[in-house]
Copies of this chain bind each other. A is one copy, B any other.
Amino acid sequence: MLQKPYLMVPGPTAVPERVLQAMHRPVINHRGPQYEALFRDVSDRLKTVFKTKQDVLTYPSAGTGMMEAAVVNILSPGDHVLVVSIGVFGDRFAEIAAKFGAVVEKLDFPWGEAADPQVLAERLAGDKEGRIKAVFLTHNETSTGVTNDVRALAAACKGHPALVVVDAVSSLGAVDLAMDEWGLDVVITGAQKALMLPPGLGFMALSERAWAACAQSTMPKFYWDAQAVKKALAKGQNPYTPPVSLLFGLAEALRLIEEEGLDNIFARHRLLATALRAGVRAMGLGLLADDKVASPGVTAVLPPAGIEAKKIQKTMRERFGITLAGGQKKLENQIFRIGHLGYVAETDILVTLATLEMTLTLLGHKVELGAGVRAAQIVILEG
């Protein structure tokens, strides 16, 4: 049976036709005036998305590269850091920091829950000598579908000298984040999530305090050197070859974001997440995250007893052309994840629910066909 692909994973996400079209242009010289104008323009417009007055640096990179960039630019070997982890990507920050010689202390919360700002505040209050140089936070934990209250977590860091580093890879552009207003020192993200681009671009912004730390940092770096990137940006350039086609795409993606408006985009993500969760519940399935901390961009679903998560993913993909994500690390095969980040419409949610109902039926699980769709329809109609 002919299928149309639906890429419902939390990155890479579906790329709008307009962005694909924009990328389909002859490559230009990255040392010429045409590129310079393009790069200055997108770098400037990215500030609005980060809600910052600081430079937004662009790297040819995956999201993990930006995590490494955050670590190596502000720290020196032996520095004490506190990593607040609620899942795979929190753990990854700890791993990277340790590899480069930081002394890592973890503040772990159960997977599926959000970090408690109170606990963070208490831990920092205990650090009377101010030994902790940086606190690493995950805005949206992609592996569990939980969004941390980064504003409250950053507020819990106030009064302590530690820099606040935020992994906003799967949140920026889908969930509100106000870098300057919330006092965030390093914010990183990737292109292939809410920014609606194919993978290949990473972005990082640093506060004044973070730039000062940069000047002192002795961790080894060449590719990730933020000062080199900043210096090149001042001339509308990159220190090494940028993925020019992705920058054509970025200009168009930013145009799409500006046309829809950030607040409308955030509201859309919330509505689609609410509709999806209502639908999943109506077909009798469990959700890993509580409504209060549920991510607007990715939803982790518990499969019914006796049916492997991987089987559900396989049937969705092979029978209906809908690609979902699996669980990672200790959640492998315990959950499946539905991405609804970036270029996602109400119709995508309806299709996912209708085919999920049919998939469960095909796998022998009793489900009232149409019930999940109906629950989502009600949410959408109530808008």
A contact residues vs B (CB 8 Å cutoff):
1-4, 6, 24, 260, 264, 268, 271, 320-322, 343-348, 350-351, 354-355, 357-358, 361-362, 368-371, 373-374, 377-378, 380-381
Contact = CB atoms under 8 A, between A and B. Distances in A.
B350 A377 contact: no
A381 B362 contact: yes
Top 9 closest pairs, chain A to chain B, by CB: A370-B374, A370-B370, A369-B374, A350-B354, A369-B377, A4-B345, A370-B373, A347-B351, A373-B373
Nearest to A357: B377
A369 B358 contact: no
Contacts of A347: 3-4, 6, 320-322, 351, 354-355
Contact of A350 (B3, B346, B355, B371): B355
B343 A358 contact: no
A381 B361 CA distance: 8
Contacts of A6: 347
Contact of A268 (B1, B358, B362): B1
A18 to B, nearest CB: 12
A2 B260 contact: yes
A271 to B, nearest CB: 8
B381 A354 contact: no
Nearest to A352: B347
A311 to B, nearest CB: 17
A44 to B, nearest CB: 24
A238 B371 CA distance: 56
A114 to B, nearest CB: 27
Contact of A2 (B345, B373, B374): B345
Given A2-B260, A268-B1, A345 B321 contact: yes
Contacts of A380: 358
A48 to B, nearest CB: 18
Contacts of A268: 1-2
Given A24-B24, A373-B370, A358 B381 contact: yes
The interface centre, meaning the residue of A1, A2, A345, A355 with most chain B CB atoms within 10 A of its CB, is A2
A241 B362 CA distance: 52
Nearest to A260: B2
The interface centre, meaning the residue of A24, A343, A347, A361 with most chain B CB atoms within 10 A of its CB, is A347
Nearest to A259: B2
Contact of A358 (B1, B24, B377): B377
A175 B264 CA distance: 44
Given A1-B268, A358-B381, 12 more contacts: A1-B264, A1-B346, A2-B343, A2-B344, A2-B345, A3-B345, A6-B347, A354-B373, A361-B377, A369-B377, A369-B378, A370-B370
13 contacts: A2-B260, A2-B268, A4-B348, A321-B347, A322-B347, A350-B350, A350-B351, A350-B355, A358-B377, A362-B381, A370-B370, A370-B373, A370-B377
A37 B362 CA distance: 47
A378 to B, nearest CB: 6
A97 B177 CA distance: 67
Contacts of A368: 374
A264 B3 CA distance: 13
Contacts of A381: 358, 361-362
Nearest to A378: B369
Nearest to A374: B370
Contacts of A370: 370-371, 373-374, 377
A346 B369 contact: no
A373 B345 CA distance: 18
Contacts of A346: 1, 3, 320
